[in-house]
Amino acid sequence: MSSEISIEVSGLGKCYQIYSSPRDRLKQFVLPRLSPLIGRESRQYYREFWALQDISFDVKRGETIGIVGRNGSGKSTLLQMLCGTLNQTTGSIQSHGRIAALLELGSGFNPEFSGRENVYMSAALLGLTPKEIDERFEAIITFADVGEFIEQPVKTYSSGMYVRLAFAVIAHVDADILVIDEALAVGDAVFTQKCMRFLRKFKEHGTLVFVSHDMGSVLNLCERAVWLHQGQLRQIGSSKEIAEAYLQYTLQEVYGQEETLQLIESGETGLSDSSSDISARVTSEFNAPPVVDYEASLQVCDNLTEANGWKTGAGEILSVSIAPVSVNSTEVFKGGDRALLTISGKVHQEFERPIIGFVVKDRLGQDLFGENTLPFTDRHPRPLTAGTSFTGEFVFRLPMLPNGQYSVMVSLADGDLYTNVQHHWLHDAVILNVSSSKVRWGLVGVDFDSVELKVAT
């Protein structure tokens, strides 16, 4: 195996024997051995259930990969086999380096042992010597922040305390490969942020395998993702690509037979560039320059003809554009400028409560900001009959963004806040290119009316 590969999974499968009753289990244990002796053909008293079948992928050294899929798709089974706590039925797994895992709530803890005793036991199982554990014990309990409960049996811990202590151990064992299975979902906000900071730092030198239903965490942490479905490898690719495909799948599961979402590949929209048809219609008043000049300039590129997504055929988006709200029109925006985003299209069947919306995303696919027409249509219903054209307009002030590319997702739906059907969904309908930015903190910058330091005299 190449030194650049940290984990290699080839033809992996796990089969369980399912028995209808304890009697069948006993028959399976005894009769197949006796049948050849009495001249009878042996039979099988169980049915096979393949939790995983024919799974193959590689994880490069230093790479972060996410595992996604519905409950029961085989994610936890895969991670258990990666860690060696479960034997595979077929295939092979090869890994290089020390593996530390947080597979489930309190995995590996003895509920009768105190927190201190469990720390020593878990760290020893992960390869640390007693001296190394002594040296790191204070750092572990500080990270876990369970206070005086460290001397209490862990059976008295809350779910959050379980996870804090378990994560603190694996964070201090100098692992080369870290495996985490949805454990952060039960932590509070403070601890979750602490874990995310540790994971970002760990990514600089280690390999991370991360399972989560939170696609925002997968997008934030992972370069690639593996999508498991009913024990099969359904798709593997960039985390953004998998997140988009998984979103379409989950919506289709929600809609069932009511609506069929048809995949739109890049370049299949059949739409023309209409950004030049939108002219500025609103004149803004003069605004004083901000006290902090971020010098962020932004250029808009129409990408509708290359956008991918899905549609049901009930309606479609035909054009998307962003224009400056100024008489001095220019192709280049600056952070703080007012902009008009226009989404136009046509419905092919009746829409009782149409919703048009957009979300601006960063290069990882994380949502930055967005809006839809629901607040307006809740107060002023606008039903659409078949064949009606529509236009949604959004006027807003552009934030100041760090350098890089950003995309605008647009959608057409019918329904309300709680029950709606997305009839047309387009990723990357518009691309925003930001350059010469001096945004230093966070994902966006804002206008500051004043920045000063006062010294008491």
Q: Residue 174 has which token pair?
A: 């100098």
Q: Are 106 and 154 in contact (CB under 8 A)?
A: yes
Half-sphere exposure (CA, 13 Å, Cβ side) for 236?
10
Rounded to the nearest 10 degrees, the angle between the axes of helix 189-202 and helix 159-170 is 20
Q: Give the chain's length.
A: 457
Q: Per CATH, the architecture of 5-247 is what?
A: 3-Layer(aba) Sandwich (3.40)
Q: Residue 199 has which token pair?
A: 């994971």
Q: Label residue 2 exposed, middle or buried (CB < 10 Å: 0-12, 13-18, 19+).
A: exposed
User: Among 73, 72, 30, 40, which residue's Cα sits nearest to residue 55?
Assistant: 73
Residues of the chain with pLDDT under 50: 1, 272-288
- Residue 306's pLDDT is 84
State residue 301 phi and psi, 5-degree precision: -125, 120
- Residue 274's pLDDT is 40
- Cα angle 200, 201, 202; round to 5: 90
Q: Which residue do the tokens 């599961």 mark? A: 253
> Was domain 264-284+294-435 assigned CATH 2.70.50.60?
yes
User: Among 361, 104, 81, 428, which residue's Cα sits nearest to residue 228?
Assistant: 81
Q: What is the pLDDT of residues 383-413, one digit of tens each?
A: 999 999 999 999 988 888 888 888 999 999 9
- Residue 356's pLDDT is 95
- Residue 278's pLDDT is 30
Q: Where are the domains of the chain?
A: 5-247, 264-284+294-435
Q: What is the pLDDT of residues 233-281, one digit of tens each?
A: 999 999 999 999 998 998 888 888 778 888 887 666 555 444 333 322 3
Mark out the alpha helices in 301-455 (DSSP H runs).
374-379
